[in-house]
Structure 1
Amino acid sequence: MKLNILGLVEVRLTGAGSMKLGSKTLIYSGEHTHERVVGILFDLTTAKSLGSWCPISDRVVAAKLINKPLNLGIIQLYAPTCNSEDVEVEKFYEEIEKAKGYLKSQDIIIIVGDINAEVGDERVEDVVRPSGVGTVNERGSRLIEWCQINDFTITNTWYQNHSWL
């Protein structure tokens, strides 16, 4: 399988940095422990378009790919689980906002990662479509609200393809 960009969670490195892995380039963002740590892996061709990147936290990293006519912004996430305190969840959403602020409003922004939320299978405006899975939970409601405010779509709910479940 050929992949140009791969979002990663639980990379198990410390701090923030970048490294070459054969013909691939890995950027990662973490703290001083091996917990969480998010990363984005780029193939050789795509890495040549990597203009800049910003480590936000061990849960959020942003990268900008230079392209014409529009640049592409990628935000890799690893959300707190449903057992996490509300204050940690709010901090996480603040970190997403910081990552968005790093990118320009005219950039195409793609957010990927482990969101740890269930958004259900009921249509919600242009955010959630009926191909979602499960029943919406508290974290899912928070995600839907954030997407509505920020004009984002949860695209994996738009296509019936859950054969991996």
Structure 2
Amino acid sequence: MDRALFVIQKRGQIGFTLIELMVTIAVLAIIAALAAPSFQSMRDNQKLKLSLMEMRTGIQQGRSRAIIARSPTVVCPDTVAEVTCGANIANYASLSQSQKDDSVLRPVIDDSVTIKSGSVDHFIFNPQGITVSGTITLCSGNKSVSLTVNGPGVITQTDGGVC
């Protein structure tokens, strides 16, 4: 009688079998494998958007700074060395360090974002806030976006194709 009671209690235990747990883990692994590529694409797009926003803000700040300071200002992505960027301004080497800091803006571009070959890598604004028209194209993953800046500093964004 004691043995029959023990068997009944054992069958009434609550829990999962090892096979049920393995099947559940396998299903979750399959779902995760299917979702991973879209997460990578989403991450690349967010980094590209952030870099575009930084570059756009830097261009707007550069134009404003040139007008307010009444001196030339150059905007280069941080992938361009500060000395190289500053060399675009006449007599850059003779400026004081504070003048150099005020005349060079370097927006931060994410490491995974690249500048397309053939794009401009700087914009120089004269004391009136005017620049030579140019286009910079940023690439991330399989997507590219171009920022075109015309003379008076109007920025146009264009979604591009594959880099």
Q: TM-score, normalised by structure 1?
A: 0.24
Q: Which has the larger radius of gyration?
A: 2
Greater RCO structure (CA 8 Å; 6+ sep): 2
- More helix per residue: 1 or 2? 2
